Amino acid sequence: MVLYIEGILKVANLFLALVAGGVAVSMFHHAWQNKELRAWKTLIIALVLFAVQMVLGFLRAFGIYESPYLTHINVSLLLAFLIWALIAQIWVVKEAK
């Protein structure tokens, strides 16, 4: 019974990751045109990397594909893009003052 619940949760997680990736791609056009949304460009990349991380977790949970190096590199890149987006947002706020 527990395995079924875990499988259902992983499938739901995969679906939400794909939705998050789709939302990120649709937001990229708006962030490209508006100067105040400059930090969103890197945040969108981080959101896509998060979706990739969730897909990799799904594949690992069902034993389809497993690569510990790829998951560690992906998380490191995700964290770097999140920090970069935060710094870019700080710059945008300082320029607006």
Asked if 85 and 43 touch (Cβ cutoff 8 Å), the reply is yes
Within 10 A of 81 (CB to CB), how many other CB atoms are there?
Answer: 20
* pLDDT tens-place string over residues 13-24: 888 878 877 887
Q: What is the mean pLDDT of residues 34-52?
A: 83
The structure's pTM equals 0.77
Question: How many angstroms separate the Cα of 56 from the Cα of each of 23, 43, 61, 71, 80?
Answer: 19, 20, 9, 7, 19
Percent of the chain's residues with pLDDT above 70: 97
